[in-house]
Amino acid sequence: MKLKTVKKWVSALVSFTLFTSLILMAFVVISTKASGGEPELFGYQLKTVLSGSMEPEFKTGSIIAVKPDGDMTRFTEGDIITFMENEERLVTHRVIDVVYSGDNVMYETKGDSNNAPDSSLVLSENVVAEYTGFTIPYIGYMASFAQSKEGGALMLIVPGIILLIYAGFTIWQGLSQMEKENQSTNNSANIEEVKESV
């Protein structure tokens, strides 16, 4: 009886894990395609870390959550900001100094593991978000992969196929169990008939 209960729990756990994986993959692929880049969730942007300049705060291949809203002149020393280094490149580094020049607010930034500060000051207008402290290691590789056509298709198809195979296996197991129970019932009935005839 205990073995049956354990089997049921394991089966439910595997089904839940596969189904959750499929939903997660679908979310990553769809939100990545919809946003044209990294996915978004509840107003937070999920960015992929492409270098080790901020280790050990977050590692290469991690996903970090950044908040894009608010006054971009509010940051102080120690805050971690995401800014446009140029038209094509976003960087997430720590503020090490705030510089005021007339009406302009600029930040001196540095990667935690870099030996020197970044070569140029960051205008507050070029800051796009603030790092929230939320990071998931290694998932960024998956998000980057999802941005490609092949990656997006594979991330949806593979978990779906696995889920279908597992569902088929579960149905087959259930039918086999029912067949055994029917056979057992028939055997019991035959034994009773033999006893009665004797």
Written as one letter, the residue type at 162 is I
User: Whole-angstrom Cα distance, residue 1 to residue 75?
Assistant: 61
Q: Across all residues in the chain, what is the average pLDDT?
A: 76
- Answer whether 0.95 is exceeded by the pTM: no
Which candidate in 11, 21, 35, 51 is catalytic? 51
User: Worst-scoring range by mean pLDDT, 22-26, 169-173, 181-185?
Assistant: 22-26
Checking if the pLDDT of 94 tops 70, the result is: yes
Return the pLDDT at 121.
92
List, in sequence order, every residue forming a beta bridge with 40; answer none if it has no partner: 45
Every domain of the chain and the residues it spans: 1-37+147-176, 38-146
Name the maximum alpha-carbon separation found in the chain. Answer: 110
User: Whole-angstrom Cα distance, residue 189 to residue 195?
Assistant: 10
> Is 51 noted as a catalytic residue in this protein?
yes
Closest CA to 93 of 159, 137, 49: 49
DSSP 148-166: SHHHHHHHHHHHHHHHHHH
In the CATH hierarchy, which fold is given to the domain comprising 38-146?
Umud Fragment, subunit A (2.10.109)
